[in-house]
A = this chain, B = another copy of it.
Amino acid sequence: MNIKDAARASGLPAKTIRYYEQIGLVVPSRRANGYRDFSETDVHNLAFVARARALGFSIEDCHALLALYQDKSRASADVKAIAQRHLDEIEAKIRDLSEMRDTLSELVLACRGNHRPDCPILASMSGAGESGNSEA
């Protein structure tokens, strides 16, 4: 199977597939003319990676997950550990972003958004309420 068909079958851009080969994630065989030749397994592995990436796993994690997937004597604990760690990171990121959202939405709400220059958003970033005695 040529790269374009592998791309269609896996849902990944051809460029991305070449990149994945380059970093050793999914390495198809080659035909005599130098063209990549993707097996069903290659395509399946690409789709596997695509789904893992969609869940936010890093390439490194995808590497490890793919290895575990192919290791029929794996322990599911190893898979779970990777997923749990990743889940923790996602939750941490959600917390960070939620804090930003809370602060930002307050500021946006407070800003009149008119033709005048006074703006609580800029005030906040310029250090308003810094050393605690500005409005005490």
- Residues of chain A whose beta carbon lies under 8 Å from any beta carbon of chain B: 44, 47-48, 51-52, 55-56, 65, 68-69, 71-77, 79-81, 83-84, 86-87, 90-91, 93-94, 97-98, 100-101, 103-105, 107-108, 111-119, 121-122, 124-127
Shortest CB distance A19–B (Å): 19
Asked whether, in the complex, the Cβ of A100 is within 8 Å of the Cβ of B56, the reply is: yes
Q: How far, in whole Å, are A76 and B68 apart by their CA atoms in the complex?
A: 54
Q: A44-B126, A52-B125 are in contact. Are A83 and B107 (CB under 8 A)?
A: yes
Asked whether, in the complex, the Cβ of B126 is within 8 Å of the Cβ of A69, the reply is: yes
Asked whether, in the complex, the Cβ of A101 is within 8 Å of the Cβ of B94, the reply is: yes
Out of B52, B73, B112, B127, which one reaches A76, CB within 8 Å?
B112
Q: How many copies does the complex hold?
A: 2
Chain B residues contacting A126 (CB-CB under 8 Å) are: 44, 48, 69
Consensus secondary structure, chain A interface: helix
Could you list 8 further interchain pairs (A-B, Cβ under 8 angstroms) beyond the known A56-B104, A71-B117, A86-B104? A44-B126, A51-B124, A74-B117, A79-B113, A79-B119, A84-B108, A93-B97, A97-B97
Residue of B nearest to A100 (CB): B56
Asked whether, in the complex, the Cβ of B91 is within 8 Å of the Cβ of A125, the reply is: no
Asked whether, in the complex, the Cβ of B76 is within 8 Å of the Cβ of A113, the reply is: yes
